[in-house]
Amino acid sequence: MKRNSLLSLVALFSWLTLVACRQENRASQSVMFGPADDGAAGEAYDLSDVQAAGELIAVTLSGPDTYYEYRGQGFGLEFSLAQAFANSIGARLRMEMASDTAQLLLRLLSGEVDLIALDMDSVRLTADCSLLPNGWVARSASSQLVEAVQRWWKPALRQQMLAAEQVRKAPANRVRRSMRPAMLSRQNGTISHYDEHFIRAAQRIGWDWRLLAAQCYQESGFDPQALSWAGACGLMQIMPSTGERLGLSRGDLYDPARNIEAAARYLSQLNGSFSDVANPHERINFVLAAYNGGAGHIRDAMTLAQAAGRSAQRWSEVEPYVLALVSPSTYRNPLVKFGYLRGEETVDYVRQIHNRWAAYRGVARPHSTGRQPSPSSSKPSRVRSRSEFLNDSLQ
């Protein structure tokens, strides 16, 4: 009896050892030769999974005609098309960027993203990839997603979206506003009808109210009904999504007092985000630039400046790299995380506000906490041409 039990235990031990060895061999083969095919490992991530998660993840290259962010909102032709497709399948869109087509394919095949939202007709693809009718690419194993794009796509869509992009970005549609006088009364030192709101909001964040007024004129020309091509609203041109994060409801976007208060809260947040810029005189430039172009883009420019041996703490040394973000060789640099930016607009924005702030200081009384520096100490340098700084800053 004891002998039989002992034999049984030996047999069981031998069987378990054999199973363990087989499993170890399979694991080794997976490491050496890659994962098993979808049939063995399970179903590929497909349309039903995207819809269950409620999110479609697409990847593309940054650029003015593909995808870029402005004031926290996505724009560009491929973004608009991907957004339309995501809406058609009942999912929200998450658009991500890659530095080149090789990285696009790598991220797709690794399962990080669901599709490539870029015309890839001229790119050589493997059997693992399916070229879709609009030039996008999806994994061949994601058959439901491939079929969904094929059903949704109509050749006229690209032209329709492109026409809408061009109309929206036309100079006449940049900001729809009725410009008010830049100075309401020099004799009385009154800048605008909204001075009391500027004074109150500026005191809460430690700014000179005249700086806030100068920024407002640059944004809207003191028109409380101003609306930009990107959807920014009111005196301080606040995006609806930004307003919601700041506690400003869509119904109050055009209310002068609430719009200015929300802008002050946002400026305070940006001031905190750039607290690593130790000199408050310099920090004003970074905060204003981030308000206009987005904090991520300004951080990109700071990173590029630092990589080139320049000071990321001085606006005059970061400014060339803000301007350079309009160039593909710069915005597709692996160091750049937020892609394309019309940097000339942002640099000019900072300069114009400084100029107007200096003018306002000559005629309007402070009424502020006095913690902000004078414009002469923080005024940015002249905007240089692209050829000037590319020669001496980006070599």
Tell me, yes or no, whether 25 lies in a domain. no
Burial of 26 (0-12, 13-18, 19+ CB in 10 A): exposed
Tell me, yes or no, whether 37 lies in a domain. no
Do 150 and 207 belong together in one domain? Answer: no
Do 129 and 229 belong together in one domain? Answer: no
Domain boundary among 168, 187, 215: 168
Do 148 and 190 belong together in one domain? Answer: no
Evaluate if residue 371 carries a pLDDT over 90: no
CA distances from 234 to 74, 164, 262, 292 (A): 20, 23, 11, 15
Joined together, the tokens standing for residue 172 give 């006449």
Q: For residue 249, what is the domain's CATH number?
A: 1.10.530.10
Token pair 């050589």: residue: 124
Encode pLDDT of 26-37 as tens digits: 333 333 333 334
Do 157 and 198 belong together in one domain? Answer: no
99/25: higher pLDDT: 99
Q: For the whole prediction, is pTM greater than 0.85?
A: no
Q: For residue 58, what is the domain's CATH number?
A: 3.40.190.10
What pLDDT, on a 0 to 100 scale, did the predictor assign at position 305? 98
Encode pLDDT of 129-152 as tens digits: 999 999 999 999 999 999 999 999
Do 359 and 290 belong together in one domain? Answer: yes
Do 156 and 234 belong together in one domain? Answer: no
Reported as type and span, the H/E element at residue 49 is helix 47-53
Helix (H, G, I), strand (E, B) or coil at 57: strand
Angle between helices 256-273 and 209-220 (to 10 degrees): 110
Do 146 and 185 belong together in one domain? Answer: no
Listed in sequence order, the residues at least 6 apart from 141 whose beta carbon sits closer than 8 Å to its beta carbon are: 38, 44, 46, 128
Domain boundary among 134, 150, 168: 168
Do 278 and 350 belong together in one domain? Answer: yes
- Strand pairing category for 55-61 and 115-116: parallel
Do 152 and 192 belong together in one domain? Answer: no
For residue 367, name the pLDDT band (cuts at 50, 70, 90). Answer: low
Do 77 and 114 belong together in one domain? Answer: yes
Do 154 and 198 belong together in one domain? Answer: no
For residue 164, name the pLDDT band (cuts at 50, 70, 90). Answer: confident
Token pair 């593309």: residue: 60
What pLDDT, on a 0 to 100 scale, did the predictor assign at position 162? 85
Number of structural domains in the chain: 2
Domain boundary among 121, 141, 168: 168
Tell me, yes or no, whether 160 lies in a domain. yes
DSSP 256-282: HHHHHHHHHHHHHHHHHHTTTS--HHH
What pLDDT, on a 0 to 100 scale, did the predictor assign at position 366? 81
Tell me, yes or no, whether 161 lies in a domain. yes
Tell me, yes or no, whether 130 lies in a domain. yes
Instruction: Find the domain containing 260 and state its range.
Output: 177-393
Tell me, yes or no, whether 294 lies in a domain. yes
**103 phi and psi angles, rounded to 5 deg:** -70, -35
Could you tell me which residues are beta bridge partners of residue 75? 68
Q: Are 200 and 194 in contact (CB under 8 A)?
A: no
